[in-house]
Amino acid sequence: MGCVNASPTSVRPSSAPPLVRWRNGRFVAGVAGGVADHLGVPVLWVRVAFAALAVVNGAGIAAYGLLWMFVRQEQDDVERELSPVERQQAFGLAALGIAVAFAGSAIGSPIVGWVVGPLGVAAIGAAVVWREADESQRRRWTEGALQTSRSTKLRVIAGALFVAVGITVFLLANLELGQLQFAVLAVVSTLAGVAVITVPWWLRLVRDLGEERRERIIEAERAEIAAHLHDSVLQTLALIQRQADQPREVVRLARGQERELRAWLYGPTGYGRRGGGDPALESGFTEALTKAAAEVEDTYAMDVRPVVVGSDRPLDDGLRALLLAAREAMVNAAKHSGAAEISVFAEIEPAEVNVFVRDRGVGFDPAAVPEDRHGLAESVRGRMERHGGTVRLRTAPGEGTEVHLRMPVEEKPDEEESP
Amino acid sequence: MTESANGEQDTRIGVFLVDDHGLFRAGVRAELERAVPDVEVVGEAGSVEEAVAGIRHLRPDVVLLDVHMPDGGGAEVLRRIRPELPDVVFLALSVSDAAEDVIAVIRAGARGYVTKTISGRELADAVRRVHTGDAVFSPRLAGFVLDAFSDRPGAAPHSDPELDMLTPRERDVLRLLARGYAYKEIAGELFISVKTVETHVSSVLRKTQMSNRYELSRWASDRRLV
Domains, chain B = 13-133 (3.40.50.2300), 144-222 (1.10.10.10)
Nearest chain A residue to B215 by CA distance is A419
Closest by Cβ to A309, choosing from B20, B21, B146 = B146
Query: Residue B23's closest CA among A244, A1, A239, A247?
Result: A1
Q: Is the pLDDT of residue B127 over 80?
A: yes
Residue B23 touches chain A, beta carbons under 8 Å? no
Pick from A320, A344, A347: which is nearest to A332 by CA? Answer: A344
Average pLDDT over residues A195-205: 72
Q: Can you point out the beta strands (E) in A180-316?
A: 303-309
pLDDT, mean of residues A154-180: 64
- Listed in sequence order, the residues at least 6 apart from A333 whose beta carbon sits closer than 8 Å to its beta carbon are A339, A342, A357, A358, A359, A361, A401, A403
> How far is it, in rounded angstroms, from Cα A66 to Cα A76?
23
Q: Is B116 on the interface with A (CB under 8 A)?
A: no
Q: Is the ipTM of this complex over 0.90?
A: no
Report chain A's mean pLDDT, rounded to a whole number: 73
Stated pTM of the model = 0.58
- Residue A146 — pLDDT band, cuts 50, 70, 90? very low
| Cβ within 8 Å, pair A3-B147 | no
pLDDT tens across A17-68, in order?
677 888 777 777 888 888 888 777 888 888 888 877 776 667 777 778 878 8
User: What fold does the segment set A284-414 form as a domain?
Assistant: Heat Shock Protein 90 (3.30.565)
Q: Which residues of A touch B95 (CB under 8 A)?
A: 1
pLDDT at residue A296 above 80?
yes
> What contacts A97, CB < 8 A, 6 or more positions away?
A50, A51, A52, A53, A54, A60, A61
In this predicted structure, the answer to whether residue A147 has a pLDDT above a threshold of 60 is no
Residues paired with residue B66 on neighbouring β-strands, in sequence order: B93
Give the SS3 label for residue A2: coil
**Residue B136 near residue B126, CB atoms below 8 Å:** yes
What's the confidence (pLDDT) of residue B2? 43
- Angle between helix B194-210 and B183-190 (nearest 10): 110
Q: How many CB atoms lie within 10 A of CB A37?
A: 21
- For chain A, the domains span 15-213, 284-414
With a CB-CB cutoff of 8 Å, which residues 157-216 of chain B face chain A?
175, 178-181
